[in-house]
Structure 1
Amino acid sequence: MKKNFKMPDTYIIIFFVVLFSAFLTYVVPVGSFDMHKVSYVTDSGVAKTRVVPVPGSFHFELNTKGEPLTKGVPFFAPGGNIGISNYVFEGIVSGDKWGTAVGIIAFILITGGSFGIILRTKAVEAGILHMIKKTKGSEVLLLPLVFVLFSLGGAVFGMGEEAIPFAMILIPIVVGMGYDSITGILICYISTQIGFATSWMNPFSVAIAQGVAGIPVLSGAMFRIVMWVFFTGFGVVYTMRYAKRVKENPQSSIAYESDAEFREDFNEDEQEEIPFKFGHKLVLLVLVLGMAWIIYGVVGFGYYIPEIATQFVIMGVVSGIIGVIFKLNNMCANDIAISFRKGAEELVGAAIIVGMAKGIVLVLGGTDAGNPTVLNTVLNYVAEGLHGMPAAISAWVMYIFQSCFNFFVVSGSGQAALTMPIMAPLSDLVGVPRQVAVLAFQLGDGFTNLIVPTSGILMAILGIAKIDWGKWAKYQIKFQLLLFLFGSLFVIGGVLINYQ
């Protein structure tokens, strides 16, 4: 009797990746680079500096016999050190409020709680029902519009973490419209990372990579704008074809079972025929103004995780007060606190995954190029392996390497600071224009954010959609390969036209 294969839970997948990473620490010697500070000037004239590796300075850490040293990670490590069994706790508490993991975890829980208050008012559900009745089928036009806007957000200001709260809104909406949560992820997250990967002005990837590589910051914009138009258009077409197929046959979606809760909520609301009251309109107005405030703050003042999380707290509390005043869904003052707690509780699982994924990197020794780690050794091996290859092949291998390396260093700015000081001078030796080396970095970094389980943002959004990473990877792999194919053509094409 043939047994049906059941995809392992995300926690199980990460656990086995941790075991594999621990194995690498026993067979791959650790090494480090000498570090120095480089300065560059942004397109707006602002001078910035980064501490980066010195090209050609890699050296192994040696044991007492003068041989390259391996530092196998222990099973258990006391004193706050990293061991195989410590990866969950150490991953969760690593970093700071500005990023992975603890900052992202706090951001997820706070925004989840804030949206718990907003959803308690039933304003979103009432608005969805009202919109569907008014549009009468033309709501399909919202999908490409939202996709293009989010892609533009990724290209212009590196939209990433900001997609998490939008997913809380859009995923229930598209499920209510007869699509599925995959469609919601496509328009609110896939779109941002396509924009991020093909950007001509992203301050968190392209600007830093070009500055570190020693080429004019935000140069070569026209080629990248054409690339953004192509990939965004391709993403829209792919999304619309998928959405059409799911609309015609909802059971064909891999998220059909996990979407049941969204559908039930929507059907219950539809049966109740929630009247679209003045109070609901006020809550939605708070939501719209709050989102506009966030975008204004990010673009104009560089707001990031701490500021955005606080903005959502304000939006949630104001919405709760409106709900109490107008008795929306029979709300009372205590419901504000209860709803915040329940909203945060629903995303605890996603928050823990973010910490566990960061634990993989910690087991490998971290991403500091100045400290002896396995990742530094891998980076040096790849750099040495490129010597003697034709320019177009070298550029393609750079693209493959950056795609794989993003599994370990999902931060665009972090990966740029770690790899570009090595890849930029190396590109000169193998005949690859430095602009193409930057292109290989940004495409490899951006596109793989769509599938690697070490991406805290991806795992948070999958948690919102209630989809296991294994199911997502099974769906995403086809689209991922298409993106890789087209990305390869752009990288190789950049060498052939001597893209500068």
Structure 2
Amino acid sequence: MKKKLMFPTAFTVLFIVLILAAGLTYLVNAGAYAKLVYDLDNQVFIETFPDGTTRELEGTQKTLDELGVSSDIAKFQEGSINKPIAVPGTYEKVKANPQGIRELLLAPIQGVYDSIGIILFVFIIGGVIGIINESGAINAGIAALSRVTKGHEYMLIVFVTFLVALGGTTFGLAEETIAFYPILMPVYLAAGYDAIVCIAAIYMGSSIGSMFSTTNPFSVVIGSNAAGINFTQGVSFRLIGLAVGFIITTLYIVRYANRISKNPEKSLVYDLSDEMNAHFKKESKEVEFTPRRIMILIIFILSFVVMIYGVANLGWWFEEMTALFLVSGVIIGIFAGMGEKIFVNTFIAGAADLMGVGLVIGIARSINIILENGLVSDTILYGLSTMVSGMNRNIFVILMMFVFMILGFFIASSSGLATLAIPIMAPIADAVNVPRDVIITACIFGQGLMSFITPTGLILASLEMVHVTYNKWLRFVLPLLALITILAIFILLLEINI
């Protein structure tokens, strides 16, 4: 019997992209911009030239003005800009550093090392989920939630998408959403939906929120600081985009969800439904929602509240978040009345379930490592910036969004893209009479759109969490990507002409 052709797993997709990235280092000229970083201890600037030499400069606004960097010195002094800034007009070709077989083999290892913070966070989350599952609290909670939403299951989509979008637009909720999938997958399956609905509500909520950022410090604030403007400039247009984008996205997901709830065979992952149900769907037998189980879920939910507060207000990152959930897991284990041996074994088994997700995250990072070490990222930025200079302002701003989409593939970090590209693009915008806040909007729109599909971002790790292949996701999201792209173009033209 002829075997059915299957789409490759996330690992294979990433390794293919990794090989292509390495090949790019042989085809694209190596080059670099001079980079400027502020030394907080000595209150001076350190400029590193493409050849690796450095010089020390006075930590003053005059230095920034002379270098053509439009940022405010206060942003460096308070630590708002803490990554190296590209210095405009300093691009030059450098000696090529093509990434061969050795570098290709070492890159995934280095990617795991570089991503160890989020990987460990994922493992701890897996362990905590295992403990909660063992306690029966999730089964009981799903049964109670199903009773409450019966006949109005679509509210699960609206509620989750709204909350995640709110987190994305305010403080850049993205990687943290990895923790939501194991909890919400059983809920959506019990409601008659599929894994696509679950990942769409969570991932697209985060992506829409981050794309239409209002106060997100990792994109719009850092980008505005690098451009020398206040991040509130242009915020009204981004708020319009956020509202309309949320409505479009939610209606799109609900429409798909209603279709498959009426006819499960229309699900894009119908062929995987047995596997999904076996892995995620809880037994249908009624589980009593005891006060102990209610308290376990309250502790778990409060952990997310504390995490969001810590990230938004206390400068927390993965170390603190991981410690928080580790403590939560122990407390939940105590409330569940587990013995020490059962607790440890269950925790380890839960962490092991997410081993694949952790490796996907590390391999995705390895692609960026190859491009950085191959010295081609700056060359791509230089080529794209040259291409769009001197255009009609309306055409310019639309093309800028697509330029940032391309750059978003090579530079997955929103803060990294902002600090590298904005100092280069802002002066070009000045030359064609485009306000700098429009460039910030084009930047976050472009990278936001690319985040829907780029394998170098978070999407493959998210898909691995729910056992969905990349091709299934593309079939679902590409029409939505087209709709949001049209919306983004409309908002950009509105902002530049009003």
Identify the residue that residue 80 of structure 2 maps to in structure 1: 48
Cα RMSD of the aligned pairs, angstroms, is 2.3
* Contact persistence 1:35–1:54 (CA under 8 A): yes
Whole-angstrom CA distance in 1 between matches of 2:144 and 2:32: 59
1:466 positional shift: 1.1
1:124 positional shift: 0.9
1:213 positional shift: 0.7
Identify the residue that residue 423 of structure 1 maps to in structure 2: 425
Cα deviation 1:48-76 (Å, max 9, x = unaligned): 33430111110111xxxxxxx43221212
Identify the residue that residue 64 of structure 1 maps to in structure 2: none
**Residues 279, 256 of structure 1: CA spacing in aligned structure 2 closer, same or farther, 3 A cutoff?**
farther
1:261 positional shift: 4.3
1:151 positional shift: 0.8
Whole-angstrom CA distance in 1 between matches of 2:408 and 2:377: 11
Match of 1:124 among 138, 144, 147: 138
* Contact persistence 2:215–2:221 (CA under 8 A): yes
How many residue pairs are counted as aligned between the two chains?
464
- Give runs of aligned pairs for residues 189-204 of structure 1, distance below 5 A: 189-204=203-218
**Residues 127, 247 of structure 1: CA spacing in aligned structure 2 closer, same or farther, 3 A cutoff?**
same
Identify the residue that residue 335 of structure 2 maps to in structure 1: 322
**Residues 4, 393 of structure 1: CA spacing in aligned structure 2 closer, same or farther, 3 A cutoff?**
farther
* Contact persistence 2:185–2:280 (CA under 8 A): no
Whole-angstrom CA distance in 2 between matches of 1:125 and 1:46: 48
Say whether residues 1:472 and 2:498 are aligned partners.
no
Whole-angstrom CA distance in 2 between matches of 1:375 and 1:250: 44
Say whether residues 1:349 and 2:356 are aligned partners.
yes
Query: Residue type of the partner of 2:19?
Result: L
Query: Residue type of the partner of 2:497?
Result: L
* Contact persistence 1:259–1:466 (CA under 8 A): no
**Residues 35, 339 of structure 1: CA spacing in aligned structure 2 closer, same or farther, 3 A cutoff?**
same
* Contact persistence 1:40–1:47 (CA under 8 A): no
Whole-angstrom CA distance in 1 between matches of 2:311 and 2:330: 21
Secondary structure at 1:451 match in 2: coil
Identify the residue that residue 459 of structure 1 maps to in structure 2: 460
Query: Residue type of the partner of 2:90?
Result: S
Say whether residues 1:279 and 2:312 are aligned partners.
no
1:387 positional shift: 2.3
Identify the residue that residue 73 of structure 1 maps to in structure 2: 99
Query: Residue type of the partner of 1:92?
Result: V
Cα deviation 1:442-474 (Å, max 9, x = unaligned): 01122322211111x333321221112233223
**Residues 267, 478 of structure 1: CA spacing in aligned structure 2 closer, same or farther, 3 A cutoff?**
closer
TM-score (norm 1): 0.87
Identify the residue that residue 59 of structure 1 maps to in structure 2: 92
Whole-angstrom CA distance in 1 between matches of 2:367 and 2:137: 40
- Give runs of aligned pairs for residues 86-235 of structure 1, distance below 5 A: 86-94=106-114, 101-235=115-249
Identify the residue that residue 327 of structure 1 maps to in structure 2: none
Whole-angstrom CA distance in 1 between matches of 2:315 and 2:73: 17
TM-score (norm 2): 0.88
Secondary structure at 1:423 match in 2: helix
**Residues 276, 8 of structure 1: CA spacing in aligned structure 2 closer, same or farther, 3 A cutoff?**
same
Whole-angstrom CA distance in 2 between matches of 1:341 and 1:447: 37
**Residues 47, 303 of structure 1: CA spacing in aligned structure 2 closer, same or farther, 3 A cutoff?**
closer
* Contact persistence 2:264–2:270 (CA under 8 A): yes
**Residues 441, 349 of structure 1: CA spacing in aligned structure 2 closer, same or farther, 3 A cutoff?**
same
Gap runs ≥5 in structure 2: 38-63, 65-70
Say whether residues 1:301 and 2:302 are aligned partners.
no
Identify the residue that residue 65 of structure 1 maps to in structure 2: none
Whole-angstrom CA distance in 1 between matches of 2:329 and 2:271: 30
Match of 1:413 among 397, 412, 415: 415
Secondary structure at 2:80 match in 1: strand
Identify the residue that residue 26 of structure 1 maps to in structure 2: 26
Whole-angstrom CA distance in 1 between matches of 2:16 and 2:277: 34
1:85 positional shift: 2.2
- Give runs of aligned pairs for residues 485-496 of structure 1, distance below 5 A: 485-496=486-497
Identify the residue that residue 364 of structure 1 maps to in structure 2: 371
Whole-angstrom CA distance in 1 between matches of 2:207 and 2:287: 36
**Residues 393, 266 of structure 1: CA spacing in aligned structure 2 closer, same or farther, 3 A cutoff?**
closer
Query: Residue type of the partner of 2:98?
Result: G
Secondary structure at 1:349 match in 2: helix
Secondary structure at 1:36 match in 2: strand
Whole-angstrom CA distance in 1 between matches of 2:157 and 2:73: 38
Secondary structure at 1:431 match in 2: coil
Whole-angstrom CA distance in 2 between matches of 1:113 and 1:489: 45
